[in-house]
Amino acid sequence: MYWERFWNGRATACKLVKLLAEALFLSLGSMNTLPENEMSDLRRKLKKLKKLKYVIIDGTERPIRRPTNKDLQKEFYSGKKKRHTIKNLILTNKDKAILFLSNMISGKTHDLKVAENTMITSAIPKDVACVLDSGFEGIERTSKKVNIIKPKKKPKKKELTTAQKTKNTRISKKRIFIENAFAGIKRFRITSDVIRSFRKDFKHLVFVLAAGLWNLRLFFSKRFNW
């Protein structure tokens, strides 16, 4: 009888989800496991990390419901994924910790454009290398003071040399850590399945919380010390 008075269907469920999400956000924040979102905060965090030799940056997409507005359909349609998606840019290290999470943008936006708009490479210390994939071709124009490491693209009608292939393999072995981090976040179904909420702030919040929980797991397993 008490539960029937308390429960009021969908409205109550929404209120509870919001309340619990906010409580989790505050808890993860107090434990310092949430990823940074501002360049100044990221810069301070990277300077504090000892023995940091390189960081990895990449974008990750997740599916959303097909927008009803035709303009929004075009804006959020990802040619790469062949569906409507949203995207976040992430910076991690070899310990797979999510150190930075950008604001949410449409999946159609190119990773290079997001990196240039956020100026994420400006937060990287001079003695720390930045590992990227070939999708960031041209980032050197806005990151002249950063040691950029990325694979060599295969030229048209030509083959890569043995040395270039070997170097690309070494880079791939470094980049695998960010793929592991993506997999860690997407253990939570809400970050890998089609998110049904239309609220932009909630879509971003659940990804932030998933990243914070993944970092918390790394902390308790002693894989990474904040």
The predicted-structure confidence for 188-210, as pLDDT tens digits, reads as follows 999 999 988 888 899 999 999 99
The predicted-structure confidence for 162-193, as pLDDT tens digits, reads as follows 999 999 999 999 999 999 999 999 999 999 99
Region 88-117 average pLDDT: 95
Between CA 203 and CA 210, with CA 204 as vertex, the angle to 5 degrees is: 95
Going from N- to C-terminal start, the domains of the chain cover 37-220
Is the pLDDT at 1 greater than 60? The verdict is no
Q: Give pLDDT, residue 14.
A: 80
What is the fold, at CATH topology level, of the domain defined by 37-220?
Nucleotidyltransferase; domain 5 (3.30.420)
Is the pLDDT at 6 greater than 60? The verdict is no
